[in-house]
């Protein structure tokens, strides 16, 4: 999926290595994507994206991903775009429904046996009763 036509970028000066370059050039890139205005996804998919990525979506409805890994603004834009697309792709994956299963006969017996052993162990710790 290529969201490049719908993504806008914001740049800023980034920290980290780069020496004087860090102080002069805006190399940090932030990719912004307005979820509601996308024409690539259905309304149902947009709702799924908004619920799963609610933490990363700001109050204006923009999903954002930052990158300041390299000294190149262009590379950081590509990395930020890839991060954003990966977030969207992962949010659209629906988890498989869990099938309810019952414990096997052997598992039940093993559990009861371990309970009996534990009970016996604790019973042996008690002082003998005087009758």
Per the domain annotation, does 13 fall within a domain? Answer: yes
Total domains in the chain come to 1
pLDDT band, very low/low/confident/very high, at 113 (cuts 50, 70, 90): very high
113: its two tokens: 């046996």
Per the domain annotation, does 60 fall within a domain? Answer: yes
CA–CA distance from 95 to each of 22, 50, 61 (Å)? Answer: 42, 16, 25
Under 8 Å between Cβ of 6 and 37:
yes
pTM of the shown model: 0.66
Identify the residue whose tokens are 């780069």: 18
Q: What is the CATH number of the domain that holds 65?
A: 3.30.160.20
For 4-58, write each residue's pLDDT tens digit. Answer: 788 888 888 776 666 666 667 778 889 998 888 888 888 888 888 888 888 888 8
Which of 40-44, 96-100, 102-106 shows the lowest mean pLDDT across its residues?
Answer: 40-44
Per the domain annotation, does 120 fall within a domain? Answer: no
Per the domain annotation, does 122 fall within a domain? Answer: no
Under 8 Å between Cβ of 53 and 83:
no
Domain around 36: 7-91
């Amino acid at each position: 999926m290529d969201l490049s036509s719908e993504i806008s970028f914001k740049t800023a000066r980034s920290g980290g290595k780069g020496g004087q370059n860090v102080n002069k050039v805006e190399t940090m890139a932030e990719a912004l994507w307005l979820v509601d205005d996308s024409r690539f996804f259905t309304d149902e998919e947009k709702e799924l994206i908004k619920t799963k990525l609610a933490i990363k979506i700001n109050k204006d409805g923009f999903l954002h991903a930052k990158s300041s890994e390299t000294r190149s603004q262009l590379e950081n834009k590509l990395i930020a775009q890839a991060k954003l697309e990966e977030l969207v792709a992962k949010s659209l994956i629906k988890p498989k429904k869990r099938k309810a299963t019952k414990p096997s006969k052997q598992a039940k017996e093993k559990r009861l046996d371990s309970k009996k052993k534990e009970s016996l162990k604790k019973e042996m710790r008690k002082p003998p009763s005087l009758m």
